[in-house]
Copies of this chain bind each other. A is one copy, B any other.
Amino acid sequence: MPQGERAEKVQDTEEEGASRQRGRYPKGILRRQQILDRTIEVFAEHGFEGTSLRAIGDAIGVSHAALKRYFETREELFVEVLREKDRQALADARVDVVETIDFASHLEDYVSRAPGLVALRHGMVARAIEPGNEHSRAFFVERYDSIRKEALLILRLAQAVGTVRADISPEVAASLVIAAMDGLSTQWLLDPQVDMNRGMTLLEHLLRPVAD
């Protein structure tokens, strides 16, 4: 629930009197979206350090301070970018993928979504596990929880249908599958010679019933 503080605060402190708290202007809504869109582009080109509030501001023809009207800190802006991309990904998700345990193609989607996105996520996870950075930490804890649950559903279904062996904990398997995706994409990003799909496919194979 980002950027909702304004309304709350006014609502809480002032209780009578006319005309207060107008909310975002149309122009502001557009600008906010523009910032989110441009940020990932700037990041893809210039990396983490190169993506200062000023650099993003320059890219859209506005001062760095303007961005702070929309996002308290750079950290928060980045988190919102990721949140937005997650929303988009969820919207585009092909339903048929849920029916099968084709994690390899999930991974394909994941890494090819937008240039720089995986790098941004990586950088943010790295920050999230450090002391401080509570904001990003909270986001990722929640996010991993959510994608583990998603994987869990798929695995349970697959166990019911018999395409995944039934003698393993689907909860633990969900963690493992997500971990493999993360880890394989890391290796691939470092060295494109590493074939992530083969790794992911192997895991899928290992998960299949032994009678296969």
Contact of A186 among B145, B182, B187, B206 (CB under 8 A): B182
Counting every copy of the chain, the complex holds 2
CA distance A183 to B144 in the complex (A): 11
CB pair A47 B175 closer than 8 Å: no
Known A-B contacts A178-B183, A179-B180; A125 and B126 likewise in contact (beta carbons under 8 Å)? yes
A59 adjacent to chain B (CB < 8 Å) = no
Q: Kindly state whether residue A133 has any CB partner on chain B within 8 Å.
A: yes
The size of the chain A interface, using a CB distance under 8 A, is 51
Query: In the complex, which residues of chain B have a beta carbon less than 8 angstroms from the beta carbon of A144?
Result: 187, 190-191, 194
Report the separation of the CA atoms of residues A46 and B131 in the bound assembly, to the nearest whole angstrom: 7
Q: Which of B47, B172, B195 lies in contact with A202, CB distance below 8 A?
A: B172
Q: Contact: A186 with B125, CB < 8 Å?
A: yes
A129 CB within 8 Å of chain B: yes
User: Which 4 A-B residue pairings sit nearest by Cβ, starting from the closest?
Assistant: A179-B183, A47-B130, A182-B183, A183-B183
- Listed in ascending order, the chain A residues whose CB lies under 8 Å from chain B are 45-48, 50, 118-119, 122-123, 125-133, 137, 140-141, 144-145, 168-169, 172-173, 175-176, 178-184, 186-187, 189-191, 194-195, 198-199, 202-203, 205-207, 210
